[in-house]
């Protein structure tokens, strides 16, 4: 089954870009956690291990033709949905939210899996129900239902960040598939009323985060502390930064969560605008390359798959960076390949594996 | 199934996607440009002036109470002097100044300062933990000349009972690099205090509490200007022990200057009422940081004050083991309570003579008399008929020769020898002579005072081997019960019908009848049952054995043992006593048990009866 052409067509550009970002991320983690001892020392090493695991998963995924996923999509969707229900029933609760399933050897976060599964499910639907002149509302009922179930379940955990991300990823895929102008207007209206109604359904801490985002100085030591300290860190980096391991904000521990969600502000402080420019260009290149992979895909399923994965990476990057530099409210979204955490790394690398898969089979029908 | 007809449309969509991505990234870059280039100066100034920092507030460790709620271990406020490394320019001068002000050895201050390099930069490095108020005032008066020097108040462990029950509480110390490495995820940092032994170690997670923090604004010298926010620390949980302060005090006083251990246990539940090990130490030394000289003194003391002899001391149980031998022999049917042996003062096996402690002999002896007067020959004979393996079975069933799963670390297992053990350990066969001396608890047999108490309790309570418990209850500050101990029966021994009663009667005789070896433990108000023991420390040849110990050097003198329970009719409390080199179980150990009984039953506490005359074994 393994064709020599697959190796010839292997997408080295993508793999190298992703690896480069991950390595920069690990170096940054080393700096961010250098001042911690004991429990802190091993973060960058653990992240390295996670990257290794992710890399192997990505390469493993390449061995199987992605087209098998089209048939497995339904199964994946049902299993993951069942896991989301299970989380609500028997999940592990930490810090007021129930997001994990304890599988004994590790904790699984089904909402993370759902990001990938919804991409596969949508790719399957839009591949099978092609439409050249834009979808009507009637034809969107099934994908919208497919989307609504997990989003509501994740929202109930409660995990606003992840449910919005799933919504955004699916949104890009729907828009890319094309919808009638009327439907677009309708969906926008629906989203606005949903947002308005949703405000009353938010938990207090979520409302507080949004209020604080709009006006961080309101509570500089409480909820606003993260945003203010992060902005000071980023801003004080200046044009060329304070140098590796020299960031006073981060080294002095004014920065909270500096190894996870706020890892970028450590980078920005130490490498300045110049460093951020390079890093952002790398991320942008990754996104553009993802779109390029979609464009070269051999079939509609592969194309939608690539668009979905790229959208996933894109939204994570945008929401995290937007949060760190004070453009978006604080929602706990990690920066792919950069923030510490096994779940994020594995999800990202599986996504990368799918892109590599679609890319290397571009000439195979 | 790419459809060629929609190719231009698709191309447009891909272009649109890319364009949107580029535009949004451009927006991010613009924002970064604004923050990092246009506003850079402002943020750099803010960053330099960022003098808002989190300061940890140490959580008081949980207090420890006795079973009646009397406070045994508490915390007191202590004043410490620490420095912010980043605010110090001239380290040498500062250390010189401080050593003068605090009457402290500059070398110690220097070392602690160096140790602080492992701390995060923003964390004050403690130099002195416990400063008297007078010295503190001197520092405060000079505070203007001491930039970066901070004074803090922190809770420090205090021990109102001083050296009483010190081994149960254990001591604290600064966390080591290794402990730090093992503590992943538990939020320890260099300089933190951690339980090193005893309950402080076992219950570390319960006692520790959660650190609080203060968000403070400081000036350029690192002095606090104002407190912006406080998150109070959560003190450690309240621990209630099964210990009774009165019984514990009585046990420690009765041991006095002797070296040894006392275990008093509730015979029905396994709750430890007292566990004393002498000599002891004052854990307060460790709380304030023990000096090298003090530490060396404790380590080099030949009486091992740091060792909890109640669980780590392994002694030949000597004649207290006769309880086990008797029960094993009765159950196996090799003897009955009426089995008579004529004691001439020795027992001959092959070409060896095994002496009874009473050289003139006990004459015709049955179980009751053998137990009462601790006749060795009766047990030599019965033990030989029984054989080592059946004896060892009974001992193991009664909780000896294995760990009892006690809450404190380092519990020793003791040793109950068998044929198989000897084959494995020495690759040698078992000899009958070894059975004979094992029958009187000598030779290879070893047990801890805790095991003796558990063994005796199983006699007192009808055969239940109980897990000894020291922690009764752990409570959060909201009164929520986190842990509650329940009696735990490790195993139940079947002694065979009537056998236990016969042994119980003989143990009552061994305290209450004339000629009894354990008479010094007698109470007027309650009937006590017990057994003495005198353990050889070195094997002496018969002819230079000197019971009075006049010529025997102290370290060669026999250990004195006594196990007892009361009231004999309905046992509540069991006591095991070991007095190292106390020479006579009846003379030295039995009065200690009596003092413990008196404290437990609330009797008029009399001065321990002076050892009068010759008590025998």
Give the helix/strand (H/E) hosting B80.
strand B71-83
Render pLDDT for B496-508 as a digit per residue (tens, 0 to 9). 889 999 999 999 9
Q: Cα–chain-centroid distance for residue B79? A: 29
For chain B, the average pLDDT equals: 86
- All residues of chain A having their beta carbon less than 8 Å from the beta carbon of residue B181 are 38
User: What pLDDT shows up at residue B221?
Assistant: 53
A59: Cα within 13 Å, side-chain hemisphere: 9
* B227 confidence band (pLDDT: 50, 70, 90): confident
Q: Chain B, 43-72: which have a CB under 8 Å from a chain A CB?
A: 43-44, 46-48, 50, 52-54
Report, as an integer, the average pLDDT of B168-175: 89
Render pLDDT for A351-365 as a digit per residue (tens, 0 to 9). 999 999 999 988 765
Does residue B540 surpass a pLDDT of 60?
Answer: no
Q: What's the Cα-to-Cα distance from A21 to each of A136, A278, A294, A345, B363, rounded to whole Å?
A: 40, 11, 21, 12, 94
A181 exposed, middle or buried (CB, 10 Å; 0-12, 13-18, 19+)? exposed
Higher pLDDT, A349 or A258: A349
User: What pLDDT shows up at residue B471?
Assistant: 94
User: What pLDDT shows up at residue B183?
Assistant: 67
- Give the closest of A249, A268, A327 to B47, CB-based: A249
User: What is the gyration radius of the CA atoms in chain A, in angstroms?
Assistant: 21
Q: Which of B28, B34, B44, B181 to mutate to test the interface with A (most CBs of A within 10 A)?
A: B28
Reduced 3-state DSSP string for chain A: CCCHHHHHCCCHHHHHHHHHHHHHHHHHHHHHCCCCCHHHCCHHHHHHHHHHHHHHHHHHHHCCCCCHHHHHHHHHHHHHHHHHHHHHHHCEEECCEEEEEECCCCEECHHHHHHHHHHHHHHHHHHHCCCCCCECHHHHHHHHHHHHHHHHHHHCCCCHHHHHHHHHHHHHHHHHHCECHHHHHHHHHHHHHHHHHHHHHCCHHHHHHHHHHHCHHHCCCCCCHHHHHHHHHHHHCCCCCCCCCCCHHHHCCCCCCCCCCCHHHHHHHHHHHHHHHHHHHHHHHHHHHHHHHHHHCCCHHHHHHHHHHHHHHHHHHHHHHHHHCCCCCCCCCCCCCCCCCHHHHHHHHHHHHHHHHHHHCCCCC
The residues of B annotated with a catalytic role in the active site are 319
User: What pLDDT shows up at residue A168?
Assistant: 92
Higher pLDDT, B174 or A82: A82
Least confident of A80-94, A126-140, B108-122, B353-367: B108-122
Question: Inter-chain contact A327–B31, Cβ cutoff 8 Å?
Answer: yes
Q: Which residue on chain B is closest to A295 by alpha carbon?
A: B14
- All residues of chain B having their beta carbon less than 8 Å from the beta carbon of residue A326 are 31, 35
A82 exposed, middle or buried (CB, 10 Å; 0-12, 13-18, 19+)? exposed
Contact B386, B334 (CB under 8 A): yes
Render pLDDT for B231-284 as a digit per residue (tens, 0 to 9). 888 899 999 999 999 999 999 999 988 999 999 999 999 999 999 999 999 998
Q: Does the B53-77+158-241 domain belong in CATH 3.90.1310.10? A: yes
Q: Could you tell me if A276 lies within 8 Å of chain B, comparing CB atoms?
A: yes
Q: Chain A, 68-97: which have a CB under 8 Å from a chain B CB?
A: none
Q: Could you tell me if A245 lies within 8 Å of chain B, comparing CB atoms?
A: no
Higher pLDDT, A99 or A217: A99
Q: Which residue on chain B is closest to A173 by alpha carbon?
A: B17
- Rounded (5°) CA angle B434-B616-B254: 105
Q: Could you tell me if A307 lies within 8 Å of chain B, comparing CB atoms?
A: yes
Q: Which residue on chain B is closest to A278 by alpha carbon?
A: B29
Q: Could you tell me if B13 lies within 8 Å of chain A, comparing CB atoms?
A: yes
- Give the closest of B11, B17, B36 to A176, CB-based: B17
User: What pLDDT shows up at residue B4?
Assistant: 43
Report, as an integer, the average pLDDT of B582-598: 90
Tell me the domain boundaries of chain B.
Answer: 53-77+158-241, 245-281+308-601
Q: Cα–Cα distance between B437 and B484 in angstroms, integer?
A: 43
Question: Inter-chain contact A288–B18, Cβ cutoff 8 Å?
Answer: yes
Q: Cα–chain-centroid distance for residue B46? A: 53
Question: Inter-chain contact A236–B13, Cβ cutoff 8 Å?
Answer: no
Q: Which residue on chain A is closest to B2 by alpha carbon?
A: A299
Render pLDDT for B301-316 as a digit per residue (tens, 0 to 9). 999 999 999 999 999 9
* A193 confidence band (pLDDT: 50, 70, 90): confident
Render pLDDT for A325-336 as a digit per residue (tens, 0 to 9). 888 877 778 899
Specify the long-range contacts of residues A138-147, CB closer than 8 Å, at least 24 apart. Answer: A140/A174, A140/A179, A140/A183, A143/A170, A143/A174, A146/A77, A146/A118, A146/A121, A146/A122, A147/A118, A147/A122
For chain A, the average pLDDT equals: 84
Residue A75 makes CB contacts below 8 A (sequence gap 6+) with none
Question: Inter-chain contact A325–B5, Cβ cutoff 8 Å?
Answer: no
Render pLDDT for B142-158 as a digit per residue (tens, 0 to 9). 877 777 788 888 888 99
User: What pLDDT shows up at residue A226?
Assistant: 74
Say which DSSP state B427 is in. S
Token readout for B403 is: 């760990």
Question: Inter-chain contact B35–A36, Cβ cutoff 8 Å?
Answer: no
User: What pLDDT shows up at residue B497?
Assistant: 86
Question: Inter-chain contact B54–A253, Cβ cutoff 8 Å?
Answer: yes
Q: Could you tell me if B190 lies within 8 Å of chain A, comparing CB atoms?
A: yes
Does residue A253 surpass a pLDDT of 60?
Answer: no
Question: Inter-chain contact A235–B36, Cβ cutoff 8 Å?
Answer: yes
- All residues of chain A having their beta carbon less than 8 Å from the beta carbon of residue B22 are 284, 288
User: What is the gyration radius of the CA atoms in chain B, in angstroms?
Assistant: 33
Token readout for B505 is: 């009667």
Tell the CATH topology of B245-281+308-601.
Beta-lactamase (3.40.710)
- The predicted complex's ipTM stands at 0.91
Q: Which residue on chain A is closest to B34 by alpha carbon?
A: A235
Q: Which residue has the tokens 């420090």?
A: B156
- Give the closest of B3, B14, B118 to A291, CB-based: B14
């Amino acid at each position: 089954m393994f064709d020599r052409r697959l190796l010839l067509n292997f997408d080295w550009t993508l793999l190298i870009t992703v690896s480069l970002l991950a390595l920069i991320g690990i170096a940054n983690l080393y700096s961010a956690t250098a001042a911690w001892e004991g429990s802190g020392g091993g973060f960058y090493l653990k992240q390295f291990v996670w990257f290794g695991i992710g890399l192997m998963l990505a390469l493993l995924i390449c061995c199987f033709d992605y087209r098998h996923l089209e048939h497995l999509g339904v199964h994946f969707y049902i299993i993951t949905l069942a896991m989301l229900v299970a989380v609500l029933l028997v999940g592990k609760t930490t810090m007021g939210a129930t997001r994990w399933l304890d599988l004994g050897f590790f904790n699984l976060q089904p909402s993370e899996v759902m990001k990938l599964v919804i991409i596969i499910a949508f790719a399957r639907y839009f591949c099978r129900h092609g439409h050249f002149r834009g979808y009507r509302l009637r034809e969107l009922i099934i994908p919208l239902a497919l989307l609504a179930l997990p989003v509501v379940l994740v929202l109930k955990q409660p995990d606003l960040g992840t449910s919005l991300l799933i919504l955004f990823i699916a949104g890009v895929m729907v828009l890319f598939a094309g919808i009638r102008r009327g439907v677009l207007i309708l969906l926008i209206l629906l989203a606005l009323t949903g947002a308005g109604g949703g405000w009353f359904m938010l938990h207090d801490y979520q409302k507080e985060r949004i209020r604080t985002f709009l006006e961080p100085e309101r509570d500089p030591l409480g909820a606003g502390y993260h945003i203010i300290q992060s902005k000071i860190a980023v801003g004080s980096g200046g044009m060329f930064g304070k140098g590796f391991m020299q960031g006073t904000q981060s080294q002095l521990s004014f920065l909270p969560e500096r190894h996870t969600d706020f890892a970028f502000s450590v980078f920005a402080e130490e490498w300045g605008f110049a460093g951020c420019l390079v890093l952002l260009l790398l991320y942008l290149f990754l996104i553009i390359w993802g779109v390029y992979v979609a464009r070269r895909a051999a079939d509609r399923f592969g194309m939608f798959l690539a668009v979905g994965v790229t959208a996933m990476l894109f939204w994570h990057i945008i929401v995290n960076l937007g949060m760190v530099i004070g453009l978006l409210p604080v929602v706990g979204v990690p920066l792919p390949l950069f923030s510490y955490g096994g779940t994020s790394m594995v999800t990202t690398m599986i996504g990368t594996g799918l892109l590599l898969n679609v890319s290397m089979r571009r000439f195979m029908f | 199934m790419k459809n060629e007809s929609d190719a231009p449309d698709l191309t447009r969509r891909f272009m649109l996607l890319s364009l949107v991505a580029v535009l949004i990234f451009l927006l991010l870059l613009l924002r970064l440009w604004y923050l990092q280039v246009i506003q850079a100066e402002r943020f750099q100034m803010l960053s330099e002036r960022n003098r808002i920092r989190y300061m940890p507030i140490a959580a008081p460790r949980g207090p420890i109470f006795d079973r009646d709620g009397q406070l045994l271990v508490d915390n007191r406020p202590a004043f410490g002097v620490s420095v912010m490394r980043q605010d110090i320019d001239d380290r040498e001068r500062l250390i010189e100044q401080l050593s003068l002000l605090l009457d402290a050895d500059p070398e110690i201050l220097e070392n602690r300062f160096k140790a602080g390099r492992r701390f995060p930069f923003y964390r004050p490095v403690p130099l002195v933990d416990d400063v008297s108020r007078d010295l503190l005032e001197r520092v405060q008066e000079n505070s203007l000349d001491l930039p970066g020097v901070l004074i803090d108040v922190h809770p420090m462990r205090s021990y109102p009972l001083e050296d009483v029950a010190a081994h149960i509480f254990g001591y604290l110390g600064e966390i080591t690099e290794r402990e730090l490495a093992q503590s992943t995820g538990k939020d320890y940092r260099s300089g933190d205090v951690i339980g090193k032994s005893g309950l402080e170690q076992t219950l570390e997670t319960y006692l520790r509490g959660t650190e609080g923090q203060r968000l403070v604004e400081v000036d350029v010298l690192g002095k606090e200007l104002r407190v912006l926010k406080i998150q109070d620390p959560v003190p450690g949980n309240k621990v209630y022990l099964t210990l009774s302060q009165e019984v514990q005090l009585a046990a420690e006083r009765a041991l006095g200057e002797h070296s040894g251990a006392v275990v008093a246990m509730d015979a029905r539940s396994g709750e430890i009422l007292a566990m004393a090990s002498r000599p002891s130490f004052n854990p307060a030394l460790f709380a304030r940081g023990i000096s090298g000289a003090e530490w060396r003194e404790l380590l080099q003391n030949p009486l091992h004050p740091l060792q909890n002899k109640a669980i780590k001391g392994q002694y030949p149980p000597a004649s207290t083991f006769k309880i086990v031998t008797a029960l094993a022999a009765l159950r196996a049917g090799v003897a009955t309570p009426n089995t008579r042996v004529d004691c001439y003062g020795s027992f001959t096996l092959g070409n060896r003579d095994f002496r009874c402690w009473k050289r003139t002999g006990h004459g015709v002896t049955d179980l009751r008399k053998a137990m009462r007067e601790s006749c060795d020959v009766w047990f030599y004979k019965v033990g030989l008929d029984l054989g080592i393996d059946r004896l060892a079975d009974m001992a193991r069933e009664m909780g000896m020769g294995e760990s009892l799963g006690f809450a404190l670390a380092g519990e020793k297992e003791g040793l109950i020898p068998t044929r198989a053990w000897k084959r494995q350990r020495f690759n040698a066969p078992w000899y009958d002579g070894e059975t004979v001396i094992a029958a009187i608890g000598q030779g290879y047999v070893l047990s801890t005072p805790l095991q003796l108490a558990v063994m005796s309790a199983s006699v007192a309570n009808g055969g239940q081997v109980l897990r000894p418990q020291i922690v009764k209850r752990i409570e959060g500050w909201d009164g929520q019960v986190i842990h509650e101990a329940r009696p735990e029966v490790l195993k139940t021994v079947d002694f065979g019908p009537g056998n236990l009663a016969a042994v119980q009667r003989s143990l009552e005789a061994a305290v209450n009848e004339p000629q009894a070896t354990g008479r010094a433990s007698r109470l007027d108000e309650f009937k006590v049952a017990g057994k003495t023991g005198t353990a050889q420390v070195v094997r002496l040849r018969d002819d230079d054995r000197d019971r009075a110990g006049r010529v025997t050097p102290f370290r060669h003198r026999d250990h004195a043992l006594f196990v007892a329970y009361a009231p004999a009719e309905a046992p509540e409390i069991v006591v095991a006593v070991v007095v190292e080199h106390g020479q006579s179980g009846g003379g030295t150990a039995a009065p200690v048990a009596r003092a413990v009984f008196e404290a437990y039953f609330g009797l008029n506490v009399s001065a321990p009866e002076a050892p009068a005359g010759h008590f025998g074994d």
